[in-house]
Chains A and B, each alone.
Chain A
């Protein structure tokens, strides 16, 4: 007996992975439904990439202008207006289609707003509605991790999502978590004049990156007046009649500090609490288990994006995985996901781009590597723009193929694409060094680094 379904595909989550999948599927002529519990467009458009990029662009501009006196730029009356800054962020989000299902509906996708919950392998509930589909793509992303920090019920705290609702920057801010997001926001608020303290359990800033990255940002944060508390564990948050208080453990001692606001940037965990057991989909607390073609343990259910876990979460990774899932689902392609060349970006100033393996990753796996670190100061453009904070680090394996790179530079993201290509196509430093680079641009540092390794 042939089963009848409401849709050919239901994509759960309208973020990078879900929306890409829905658009690809509808383009292939399938009947598609897109389910979203929060804001249309997902976290990249509404809570991270777009709003943060817009805000950071403005504050980095402000910071550079303040130090423009050596270029003859007067900054005596330089100031910012926070409502205007917020408005700019909203404009950028609106242009990107934040919280708008219009583009999906125009493409012929049925949009359903509500919390999806699996009732059986082929059926989900969305609010009071029960709908079925031949295939599913799970792209529910991630949610804030339970930090174990003791927080009273009447104490409000900030998260990377809720920080966008602030109407003015706080006077003092304590950030728990010195990963990418924590450091980005620490620099953002410091540039606005907030007194920032940033704490992490790890022994350095940006523990996911190599040691040198943490050292560069130690210096940069020192200059900005950001107090860095490494090897510190936040134990509890308290509130009294005067202000909020953060209690943390450092050097075996319990210490506390009074602040205006607390921001928890302690990481996220895959959002898997929506009846996956009813569908028979296997998952753990690190995410949904998938094959290399993004199929879960149930053959007609796929998963992509942050919900499958993995060390690096990014929009690009989500879109890549979604593409593979759709390719398998629609065309029965044998293509498998290839993460080689995926770049991890931190939107500080200067920005940080990491591709492939870090030196720490190689040490952990006992992998013998060669490395070179070239400071930005070796490039002509460092002299003409008077900018020296940063470096290019390249790692090669025993066969002299480039396997990893870290760049700290004003245009690290753009510079990284060349090395992403090199890693993906197993090129050697000689291949890069023998390619002409623009001598008066930041890419020249990459050529110099590769020349030293060739």
Chain B
């Protein structure tokens, strides 16, 4: 389980950028998506002092799905994709 001060928006953005690179997304666009996702997760986490890693991944996925469904799929299933 993660406490909010262990949540790292940098780590989240880095992971999203890695997945975006694998999909050959334009770099600036990928950065914008990562930024928006991190902002959405931070807003969600504001009311919640203790959350799990699964919660953060779920919230990030929800935002990614609106911004880029393919990237959201890869983000969600990263451990199943060879």
Interface residues of A (CB under 8 A from B): 37, 114-115, 117, 119, 125, 127-128, 130, 275, 277-278
17 other A-B residue contacts (CB within 8 Å) besides A128-B50, A275-B55: A37-B47, A114-B49, A115-B47, A117-B48, A117-B50, A117-B51, A117-B55, A119-B1, A119-B50, A125-B48, A125-B49, A125-B51, A128-B49, A275-B52, A277-B55, A278-B54, A278-B55
Cβ-closest 6 pairs across A and B: A125-B50, A115-B47, A128-B49, A117-B48, A127-B49, A115-B48
Task: Say yes or no: B49 contacts A278, CB within 8 Å.
Answer: no
Interface string of B28-66 (1 = CB under 8 A from A): 000000000000000000011111101100100000000
Given contacts A117-B55, A275-B55, contact A130 B47 (CB under 8 A): no
Which secondary structure dominates chain B's binding surface?
Answer: loop
What are 19 inter-chain pairs, A to B, with CB distance below 8 A? A37-B47, A115-B47, A115-B48, A117-B48, A117-B50, A117-B55, A119-B1, A119-B52, A125-B49, A125-B50, A127-B49, A128-B49, A128-B50, A130-B50, A275-B51, A277-B55, A277-B58, A278-B52, A278-B54
Which residues of the partner chain B approach A278 to less than 8 Å between Cβ atoms? 52, 54-55
- Nearest CB on B from A6, distance (A): 15
Interface residues of B (CB under 8 A from A): 1, 47-52, 54-55, 58
Which residues of the partner chain B approach A125 to less than 8 Å between Cβ atoms? 48-51
Which residues of the partner chain B approach A119 to less than 8 Å between Cβ atoms? 1, 50, 52
CB closest residue in chain A, given B55 = A275
CB closest residue in chain A, given B58 = A277
- Nearest CB on B from A317, distance (A): 27
- Nearest CB on B from A284, distance (A): 14
CB closest residue in chain B, given A125 = B50
Bound-state Cα–Cα, A127 to B49, Å: 5
- Nearest CB on A from B53, distance (A): 10
CB closest residue in chain B, given A37 = B47
Bound-state Cα–Cα, A119 to B54, Å: 10
Bound-state Cα–Cα, A115 to B54, Å: 18
- Nearest CB on A from B56, distance (A): 11
- Nearest CB on B from A148, distance (A): 12
Which residues of the partner chain B approach A130 to less than 8 Å between Cβ atoms? 50
Which residues of the partner chain A approach B1 to less than 8 Å between Cβ atoms? 119
Which residues of the partner chain A approach B58 to less than 8 Å between Cβ atoms? 277
Bound-state Cα–Cα, A81 to B3, Å: 50
Bound-state Cα–Cα, A303 to B43, Å: 27
Which residues of the partner chain B approach A114 to less than 8 Å between Cβ atoms? 49
Bound-state Cα–Cα, A139 to B13, Å: 35
Bound-state Cα–Cα, A117 to B54, Å: 13
- Nearest CB on A from B31, distance (A): 21
- Nearest CB on B from A377, distance (A): 54
Which residues of the partner chain A approach B50 to less than 8 Å between Cβ atoms? 117, 119, 125, 128, 130
